[in-house]
A and B are shown apart, each in its own frame.
Chain A
Amino acid sequence: MKKIYTTNEYKKRNTKRAKDRLKQRLLSKEKAKGKKKKLMGISVVQQREQRDNNKYESLKAPTNFSFVENTVEILAYFENIQRHINRRKPILINLKEITNLTNDAIVLLLAFIKTPKITKKVPIRGNYPKDNVLRKIFQESGVFGVNGNESEPKNYILTRQNKKAEGGIANELIKRATKIVFGQEARCPGVYRALMESMANTCYHAKPQHIAHETWWLTVYHDKVQNKVSFAFIDLGVGIFKSSKMTGFREKLSSFFGITDNRDVLREIISGRKMSSTKIPYRGKGLPNIYKGLERNYYSKLKIISNDVKADLTENNYEKLSKEFDGTFLYWELNNTNRWTS
């Protein structure tokens, strides 16, 4: 035997090393046991899914997942997603804990994750809410790409997207909505007008040469309990106050009337009061007429969110948002007290 193996220093070091290794082995065994215990009762498929998900950064969604009700928190959540995308980190949109869900948030999520210029090819995944009812709504929305046949009629939610103003789509959605609310396929000229105006507004991007470049998204949701259908329309363009159509109008409003706050700008657009006095060749009668639809009882609960303004037009409430939304969002509901024609 070599002399080195018999030295005290060697024996001491060797014993310590053996001890450490034993400790490590036992720890690893414990860890493995714990891991196995954790996975007990979980199917192999689910285990694989869990392993895959671990590669993604989980971003927990606000429990009140409603753009209309919880606007700023939802915008902050999307801002956080965008930050991760900019750092090129794969994301898991974690919806497990949500307790409230409205179709407006679904259409926002849908528009967001299906717009390549936003997601920049960063992998994005999502899970479904624990709550069974919310889970079903989400699955049928097709947000995470498993809604099956597009032409198949669904009970809860319908989503459509396009770049142009499509009368066929508007007509189809109205027919389905009226069948639910009024018990027969009917026509709602006011809803048709609102849909067409919303789609047409999307066509005008910030730059006039970008006409019909932006995609709009529309979700129609049937609330069986309250017997109403809600329409949520969104485009992730530049928003009302930054569109090319607004430039001259805003300048005139500011210099003639001292109006600079976007809440007041929206009030003026909706009312149409100062538009003629500014003598601006502003052809966009869209928003004032969408508002007229509310006054004429073609629909209810009209809301608009764009840039830093959230307007509840039914309540005449204009709110300044602390977070900006780069796009235009319109929401209204159809119920059996609204006007329709057979």
Chain B
Amino acid sequence: MDKLIIKIADDYTTIPGVREEIEGDFPGEEFLEKILLPKFKQALSENKKLLIDLDGTAGYATSFLEAAFGGLAREYKQSKIVLDTLEFKSDDDPFLEDDITEYIKEANDK
């Protein structure tokens, strides 16, 4: 199956921010709205996987990841569709994938 790819360092920024715009630049909510959600919709409509390449940035704040990936799960009101569609590449930080999976799973618990 073909994959769509988002490389955050190239497609968005190398210095991701936190959750909301009011807190600082390059927030997770903006990433979700402008980059992740459109690509995710495209992946679903084309029945493709979406690979998120997390490498090459300075790092990620938890609130950025939660707003983006947890936010995506909230958008679809379920975690399964998000977990089934997304794939991750994270050589810089081996813990990131588990963290993001946790945020996606917990997103609709609230």
A contacts, CB < 8 Å to B: 164-168, 170-171, 174, 187-193, 196-197, 199-200, 203, 211-212, 276, 281, 283, 285-286, 289, 292, 296, 341
* Cβ contact of B24, chosen from A188, A189, A199, A281, cutoff 8 A: A199
Q: With A171-B15, A283-B66, A341-B93 known to touch, is A212 a contact of B23 (CB < 8 Å)?
A: yes
29 contacts across the A-B interface (CB closer than 8 A) = A164-B23, A164-B24, A165-B17, A165-B18, A167-B15, A167-B24, A171-B58, A189-B59, A191-B59, A192-B59, A193-B61, A196-B17, A196-B59, A196-B63, A197-B61, A199-B23, A200-B18, A200-B61, A200-B63, A203-B22, A203-B24, A211-B22, A276-B109, A285-B62, A285-B63, A286-B61, A286-B63, A292-B95, A341-B93
B13 lies within 8 A of chain A by Cβ: yes
In-complex Cβ contact of B23 among A170, A189, A192, A203 (8 A): A203
- Docked-complex contact A189 and B93, CB < 8 angstroms: yes
Q: Are A289 and B62 in contact (CB under 8 A)?
A: yes
User: Chain A residues with Cβ under 8 A from B18's Cβ?
Assistant: 165, 196-197, 199-200, 203
Q: A168-B15, A199-B24 are in contact. Are A174 and B58 (CB under 8 A)?
A: yes
In the bound complex, how far is the Cα of B24 from the Cα of A341, in angstroms?
A: 25
Residues of B within 8 A of A (CB): 13-19, 22-26, 57-64, 66, 92-93, 95-96, 99, 106, 109-110
Chain A residues near B92 (CB-CB < 8 A): 187, 189, 341
Q: How far is the CB of B64 from chain A (nearest CB, A)?
A: 8
Residues of chain A lying within 8 A (CB to CB) of residue B23: 164-165, 199-200, 203, 211-212
A204 to B26 alpha-carbon distance, docked (Å)? 18
Contacts of A341 on B, CB cut-off 8 Å?
92-93
Q: Are A190 and B59 in contact (CB under 8 A)?
A: yes
B61 to A, closest residue via Cβ: A196
A165, A192, A199, A212: the one within 8 Å of B58 (CB): A192
- When chains A and B are docked, how far (Å) is the Cα of A191 from the Cα of B23? 19
**Looking across the interface, which residue of chain A has its beta carbon closest to that of B54?**
A189
Task: Please state if A187 and B58 are interface contacts (CB–CB under 8 Å).
Answer: yes
With A171-B15, A189-B93, A200-B18 known, 9 other A-B pairs at CB within 8 A are A187-B59, A187-B92, A192-B59, A197-B61, A200-B19, A211-B22, A286-B61, A289-B62, A296-B95
Q: Which of A212, A276, A289, A292 has the most CB of B within 10 A?
A: A289
Check B62–A286 contact: CB distance below 8 A. Answer: yes
A167-B19 Cα distance, complex, nearest whole Å: 12
Q: Nearest-CB distance from A274 to chain B (Å)?
A: 14
Q: Which of A167, A192, A276 contacts B25 (CB 8 A)?
A: A167
Provide the residues of chain A in CB contact with B17, threshold 8 Å.
165, 167, 196
Selected contact of B22 from candidates A170, A199, A212, A296, CB within 8 Å: A212
How distant is the Cα of A276 from the Cα of B107 in the complex, in angstroms? Answer: 12
